[in-house]
Amino acid sequence: MPLLFSSMNSKNYPSIRRLPMVALFLAALVTHGGVHALVGVPGGAGPRLHLQAGTLSPAPLGTNRETALAFLRPGVQTALLQFAGPVRDEWKEAARHSGLQLLRYVPDFGYVARGDKNAFRAAVALPYVRWIGPYLPAYRVSPALPDSGPAAALLSL
């Protein structure tokens, strides 16, 4: 499940402040998907997923689609699913029929999906599912948030 991760601000504001975010991302990958998930994909190698924390450039699943599910654990969980192109209603319906809940759209052509391993196994067999991967907590953290120090806040009572 190779992918390339870049922060939205990494090109404009490279700084040492992003190291905790990178460390969290790497730790989550090792925990959820293994080090093999760090293999990079050249930029522009297909549709990207635009998340709060940055952009993912996942590689297509390829021929051995079952290996893409190695990150899944027993029980219901949340993951990212990306379709092969502009999402069609029948593709969403087939994903739902496989047992997945499509929680919210993620540009380009993706969804945050919830289901058990059997539901994801059925979805990965669909020919128009391009990629399935973990939905890590770090993906929801904006790189614009300060890494440390006091933060100004206004509290009205």
Answer whether 71's CB lies under 8 Å from 29's CB.
no
Measure the N-to-C terminal CA separation of the chain; round to a whole number of Å: 49
How many other C-beta atoms can be found within 10 angstroms of the C-beta atom of residue 131?
A: 27
Which range, 2-6, 15-19, 48-52, 142-146, is most confident? Answer: 48-52
C-alpha 34/C-alpha 37 separation (Å) is 6
How does residue 146 score in pLDDT terms, banded at 50, 70 and 90?
low
Q: 């991967």: which residue's tokens?
A: 133
Full-prediction pTM beyond 0.85? Answer: no
How does residue 89 score in pLDDT terms, banded at 50, 70 and 90?
very high
